Chain A
Amino acid sequence: MTGEELALRRAIMASFAATGAPPPVADGPALRGLERAHVVVLAPAGEDGVGIHMAHPFAGHRDGTQVTAPGGGWWGSCAWDGLGIVAALGLADADVRSGAITLRVRGGGLQDAGDAVFHVAVPARRWWEDIVFT
């Protein structure tokens, strides 16, 4: 991974961490390098150009898992990502809402989630064949 790619990644992750959303990005070799490395998943280019669909554990879309905590809100694509956001940001208290289920982190620990189960339908070796579906 080149220095330019790492710098762009840092900027993308810093924006997600601070605001819950990706920064505007210019298409180019660094961004495409991050895409090839599975660091980012790009959204289809629209009128505003290319966008960041995912930069794990964060998501630019709003169709997945919502993380809320004092002082901020973030989105991931699934509960794994949501708990990953809690870990990456070092959140002691947060709610991770995925579908109809909310996982609660309090005092740095996950509270009992009852009979919730994280279901993985696609075998690991095929996750990146269609990461949006996965």
Chain B
Amino acid sequence: MRLLRSEEVPAGEGAGVPPAQLDALARRWYGDRLDPGWRPRSAEASQAILADAGLTGGFWALS
């Protein structure tokens, strides 16, 4: 996973996420990691966070 300029992105490979979308994802994905009551979340919950961030389809399927 790399942060690139748009012209550096390999054509036809992988997926690109704009920074604002990545920021929204990071807040949901990691925002609770230092909470005292943190517990591992399910794969289904992680998948829902990806979907809420607009990352859907086969490439973003966790299983």
Contacts and interface: CB of A to CB of B under 8 A. Distances in A.
Nearest to A77: B1
B9 interface: yes
Given A118-B1, A121-B1, A124-B61, A17 B34 contact: yes
A80 B2 contact: no
Interface residues of A, number: 45
A122 B14 CA distance: 6
Interface in B1-53: 1-7, 9-10, 13-20, 22-23, 25-27, 29-34, 36, 38-40, 50
Interface of B: 1-7, 9-10, 13-20, 22-23, 25-27, 29-34, 36, 38-40, 50, 58-63
A85 interface: yes
Contacts, number: 138
A109 B59 CA distance: 28
A115 B5 CA distance: 6
21 contacts: A1-B39, A57-B26, A79-B3, A79-B22, A82-B26, A83-B23, A83-B27, A99-B2, A103-B19, A103-B23, A115-B7, A117-B16, A118-B17, A119-B1, A119-B10, A119-B15, A121-B2, A121-B10, A123-B61, A124-B62, A134-B1
A43 interface: no
* SS class, residues of chain B in contact with chain A: mixed
Contacts of B7: 115
B62 A121 contact: no
Interface stretch (A21-29, A45-53, A86-94): A86-94
Given A117-B5, A124-B60, 8 more contacts: A13-B34, A39-B40, A88-B31, A88-B32, A101-B5, A119-B1, A121-B1, A123-B58
